[in-house]
């Protein structure tokens, strides 16, 4: 399965799609990018006059690229329109803020995939290659 096919199978659409580009994916991990456009709705209230990307959105971005894209690749052709993907746990440490207009790169490394449960080590880098946040995310494909 190539990156275009994986992106087409993502169960998200704007404004809740946080994947612009899937750079690479293989049985060990995934790498992708997303740019947080300045007009995204959540910036209007998080924080007044000094918008910052909420941690929950950073986690979602890491999950979409580092877990869901990788999971779709691993399940491959067995994934169908009735398949569901659910987040089961996260443990993320936030190290730097992400501001409107910033492009981030998410890199994941598979920890394990068994019984359709996937756990990955993930990190998000800013354009200076600084770690913005990192941790583990797990999910299940049903």
Active site annotation includes 126: no
3-state secondary structure of 55: helix
Measured CA to CA in angstroms, residue 4 lies from 7, 80, 102, 124, 127 at distances of 5, 16, 23, 22, 24
- What residues have CB less than 8 Å from 72, skipping those under 6 apart? 1, 6, 9, 10, 79, 85
Nearest to 120, CA basis, from 49, 65, 47, 54:
65
Q: What is the dihedral of CA 57, 58, 64, 67, to 10 degrees?
A: -130
The catalytic residue among 17, 42, 46, 113 is 46
| DSSP H or E run through 109 | strand 103-114
Catalytic residues: 46
């Amino acid at each position: 399965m190539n990156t275009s096919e994986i992106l087409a199978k993502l169960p998200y659409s704007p404004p809740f799609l946080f994947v612009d580009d899937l750079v690479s994916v293989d049985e060990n991990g995934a790498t992708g990018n997303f740019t947080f456009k300045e007009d995204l709705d959540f910036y209007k209230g998080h924080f007044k006059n000094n918008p910052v990307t909420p941690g929950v959105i950073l986690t979602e971005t890491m999950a979409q690229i580092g877990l869901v894209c990788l999971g779709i690749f691993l399940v491959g052709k067995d994934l169908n329109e009735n398949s569901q993907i659910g987040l089961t746990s996260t443990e993320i440490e936030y190290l730097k803020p992400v501001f409107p207009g910033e492009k981030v790169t998410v890199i994941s490394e598979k920890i394990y995939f068994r019984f359709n449960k996937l756990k990955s080590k993930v990190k998000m880098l800013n354009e200076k290659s600084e770690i913005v946040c990192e941790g583990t995310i797990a999910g299940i494909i049903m």
